[in-house]
Structure 1
Amino acid sequence: MRLSLTSLLGSSLLGSLLVSAACTSNTTDTAGLQQLIQAGGEGYKLQLCAGQIYEISEQLNYTALNQEISTEGYPIDDTRATLKMVGFNKTTSVQAQDAGLSGAKLMNIQINGNRLESEDIYTAGGGNIEFGGQNQNQIIEHVRSYDPRGWSCLHLAEGTFNCLNITVQNNDIGPCGRDYFQNWADGISLSCADSLVQNNVIVDATDGGIVVFGAPSSVIRNNTISVQTRTMLGGINMVDVLPWLPEGNFSNTLVEGNTIHGGFATDMGNATFGSNNASAIIKIGIAVGPDVWFSDGRYGTNQSTGATIKDNVLSGALAYGMGVSSAKSFIISNNSFTGNTSFIGTYGPNCTTGTKTPHEPVALLLEPSSVTDLTLTLPENSQFQFVNGTALGLTCLMPPSGDFWPYGDGFNSGAATSSGSGDATTTNTASPSASSGSSSTPTQGSSSSASKSILNGSPSGVVFALTIGMIAGLITAI
């Protein structure tokens, strides 16, 4: 049958061919991709082809207002095009920080930093993605970023303190960095003010899942942060007093409704705890104040100041659910724990000694002598209260060895078995437990159940663990 031009134009076959022809093939080299961006000018969209990998030897730079790099058809799965960095000693794949790049968009694409398993972190250079700078109204959405060679999967810079209003949403981030000394990398590093970071999933970002560098008036909400195979130093970090001025400026920054999962058992142990084949924990679920992170006093008496942290939920194995020190005028309210949770760790080689030794792992740790004008409230019937103690350099704790990881949702622990460590008490994971110790801090609600600790002698310190299972009927009965 002969088809007329009109029928061809109306056919779905030709329509699909025309759509396919719109994307830029992966036979285009790095220089060719950059030339398209340069020549395209304001509003240009560089659309890459679904399912294709683009090996780039240099970073791609946005060059005009409102430009976009995306995958044709805007898929949200593994068919998103991939930019894979193969250049020698290069760390950044896409950059939109120079002046005049407001409105830049990075959407529906994958960024593979291509750090090899055997490589140490590249100490110079930027993150996989470098946005922000001297710009406003940028968007990063439905992007996967992983294996950066440098210090972050996604960095949103402050510029000359004129970066505003970046939206970072619906992205999947990680793994980022390695979980051995000074080879860590952030998931999202936020320093741009008045920005929105929401609905992102961040896995195995070994430094901080989301690190907030002040970023005044920003909102960080409804993100999910978890570990699978690599220990994370922190889930959400608010510990860097620079670069915003006055030092420690977190004014009007809101961290709310985020979910943070520490490690869970991957193998059977006793009825309460099992082992984890990667020994993966989050050391601090939410870290507030520079002293919590830095034990060397580098920031003197400076404090993180002015943020609100509320309605966040934590579970799994952590050293500390929340650590608060050297902070001022924070509102910390209604943060809670759900499911099975343990607080575990051994004192590592970088832990301080004497009066500066960090308090043993607990759900909520506060160093009262270093904080000013805090508002601390907990949910009614909270299993835990804030415990007063030394909250200095908490990342020095190391994951323990043995059966100390709680079972996650859907993990059937079966009948009680003896613990591999030989000294853990077998308990029902549905029984709620409260933090050991008491707090003099003003809180709402109370802890209603007994505490339990599990001690495991080791050359490097002591392991402390607690477990909770939040079953409303059981709590009510108690």
Structure 2
Amino acid sequence: MKNESKELATLDYPGGKRRAKLRIVSDRVATATQGDCLRCARVAVRNLIIDGSRRTLGRVREASTSPGLVILGGNEGQAVRECAISDPCGFTAVHAREGAKLNYPESSPWGWSLANGVSIACHNSIVRDNVLTDCTDTGVVVYCSPGTKIEENHVTTKRRSAIGGILLVDAEPFSRDYSGIMVKGNVLDASGQAMRVGIGIGPSVLSDDMETIINDGSVIGNHLTGDYMGYGIATAGLQGWTIRDNLDDARYMGQPSDRCLDDPVNPPPQAFIYNSATLKESVVQDGFFDSDFAYRECVGLIVEVDVRVPGWWDAQHLENAHSS
């Protein structure tokens, strides 16, 4: 899509199986549709089933250039709506790339070798009302993306484990700026397989970087649930953040694996942890356990669940509920 206001959609915008299907058929191709050009303002992808064919084709051959199954960005007013997006061969189902203003990016996956549902690095975007199932890396990864709203999504691990539900851990591409970021009303549901971190905030969640500070976001009113959660909300290295009114009824489990660092020694899995010494001018709800930590996703979780259900073997998908 290389012109303003263009739309790729099924005629009359049907739902369910009546939507047209785009399917990748070559192991040298990872992207089904791309709209990130300078003249791609207000392009939209609507009411489609988009299949990356990861189960049959495997990972994209060139791992160093493993793009998203759907790529948007570089412009404004773009949208992905009412789509079912599955099995990317690259690193993510939907990539809203840097420098854009993207409205309503929505998606899913698993892919190379782990995959995100939505990877967003755009200003003033909305990721809302999506169901992201069995994303083997993370449901939604936010790369700074000032002004972006991540609201009312359901991230669940039914038949494959995940590193995280929602992660806000990167310092780039906008120089640690998370101003205006709102993560609100999402459900992080470790229902059938391990979710190692429900919501991770700050670089040390996925690394040993205990010095970098990210700035000015909010995480409010989210719900942690399911029997196979590692850590609910883990946070460190923040300035000017608000974390409040988050609810928890999950069961926490897991043991340190050989990928964990010797120092610091991470506390056992639990609902809320933070490193208070690395938080500045931030508001954090009661109930957080104070501890040094690094590389939270190293926790090993063994879940005895039969995943060999016909039709569901590695069948990660996201079905977008609706967008507004």
Same fold (TM over 0.5): yes
Residue 141 (structure 1) aligned with residue 54 (structure 2): no
- Residue of structure 2 equivalent to 1:164: 101
On the 8 A contact 2:14/2:47 being kept in 1, the answer is yes
On the 8 A contact 1:346/1:400 being kept in 2, the answer is no
SS at match of 1:116: helix
On the 8 A contact 1:205/1:232 being kept in 2, the answer is yes
Superposition deviation, residue 402 in structure 1: 6.1
Which consecutive aligned stretches of 4+ in structure 1 deviate over 6 angstroms post-superposition?
none
Once the two structures are superposed, residues 419-454 of structure 1 have per-residue CA deviations (whole angstroms, 9 ceiling, x without a partner) of xxxxxxxxxxxxxxxxxxxxxxxxxxxxxxxxxxxx
Distance 1:78 1:256, change over 3 A: same
Q: Which moved more, 1:121-130 or 1:198-207?
A: 121-130
Superposed, which structure 2 residues align to 1:371-450 within 5 Å? 371-378=279-286, 385-400=287-302
SS at match of 2:54: coil
SS at match of 2:55: coil
Which residue of the other structure, out of 272, 297, 301, is the alignment partner of 2:211?
301
On the 8 A contact 2:27/2:59 being kept in 1, the answer is no
On the 8 A contact 2:92/2:109 being kept in 1, the answer is no
Superposition deviation, residue 174 in structure 1: 3.5
- Residue of structure 1 equivalent to 2:269: 361
Q: Determine the C-alpha separation between the residues in 2 that align with 1:345 and 1:118.
A: 33
Once the two structures are superposed, residues 392-415 of structure 1 have per-residue CA deviations (whole angstroms, 9 ceiling, x without a partner) of 100111113569xxxxxxxxxxxx
Superposed, which structure 2 residues align to 1:38-49 within 5 Å? none
On the 8 A contact 1:121/1:183 being kept in 2, the answer is no
On the 8 A contact 1:151/1:186 being kept in 2, the answer is yes
Q: Determine the C-alpha separation between the residues in 1 that align with 2:240 and 2:205.
A: 16
- Residue of structure 2 equivalent to 1:126: 67
- Residue of structure 1 equivalent to 2:158: 228
Superposition deviation, residue 83 in structure 1: 0.5
- Residue of structure 2 equivalent to 1:152: 92
SS at match of 2:16: coil
| Structure 1 runs not aligned, ≥5 long | 1-61, 265-279, 379-384, 404-478
Residue 310 (structure 1) aligned with residue 251 (structure 2): no
TM-score norm. by structure 2 comes to 0.89
On the 8 A contact 1:132/1:166 being kept in 2, the answer is no
Superposition deviation, residue 118 in structure 1: 7.6
Q: Determine the C-alpha separation between the residues in 2 that align with 1:68 and 1:194.
A: 21
Indicate the percent of aligned positions where both proteins have the same amino acid: 24
Distance 1:175 1:398, change over 3 A: same
The structure with the greater share of residues assigned to strand is 2
Q: Determine the C-alpha separation between the residues in 1 that align with 2:109 and 2:218.
A: 28
Residue 325 (structure 1) aligned with residue 236 (structure 2): yes
On the 8 A contact 1:324/1:391 being kept in 2, the answer is no
Superposition deviation, residue 302 in structure 1: 1.6
- Residue of structure 1 equivalent to 2:309: none
- Residue of structure 1 equivalent to 2:316: none
- Residue of structure 1 equivalent to 2:246: 335
Residue 197 (structure 1) aligned with residue 197 (structure 2): no
Which residue of the other structure, out of 248, 259, 265, is the alignment partner of 2:187?
259
Superposed, which structure 2 residues align to 1:50-89 within 5 Å? 62-89=1-28
On the 8 A contact 2:164/2:200 being kept in 1, the answer is yes
Q: Determine the C-alpha separation between the residues in 2 that align with 1:356 and 1:293.
A: 13
Superposition deviation, residue 369 in structure 1: 2.1
- Residue of structure 2 equivalent to 1:291: 204
- Residue of structure 2 equivalent to 1:19: none
Which one-letter code corresponds to 2:68 in the other structure? G
Superposition deviation, residue 312 in structure 1: 0.6
Once the two structures are superposed, residues 315-368 of structure 1 have per-residue CA deviations (whole angstroms, 9 ceiling, x without a partner) of 012100010011221100100014xx2111121121111x32221111101112
On the 8 A contact 2:50/2:86 being kept in 1, the answer is yes
- Residue of structure 1 equivalent to 2:41: 102
Which residue of the other structure, out of 325, 337, 350, is the alignment partner of 2:259?
350
Q: Determine the C-alpha separation between the residues in 2 that align with 1:343 and 1:392.
A: 18
Q: Determine the C-alpha separation between the residues in 1 that align with 2:266 and 2:28.
A: 38
- Residue of structure 2 equivalent to 1:90: 29
Q: Determine the C-alpha separation between the residues in 2 that align with 1:175 and 1:190.
A: 15
SS at match of 2:179: coil
SS at match of 1:83: strand
Which one-letter code corresponds to 1:363 in the other structure? A
Superposition deviation, residue 190 in structure 1: 1.1
TM-score norm. by structure 1 comes to 0.61
On the 8 A contact 2:116/2:138 being kept in 1, the answer is yes
Superposition deviation, residue 370 in structure 1: 2.0
CA root-mean-square deviation: 1.7
On the 8 A contact 2:26/2:57 being kept in 1, the answer is no
Distance 1:402 1:147, change over 3 A: closer
SS at match of 2:297: helix
Q: Determine the C-alpha separation between the residues in 1 that align with 2:188 and 2:293.
A: 20
Superposition deviation, residue 294 in structure 1: 1.3
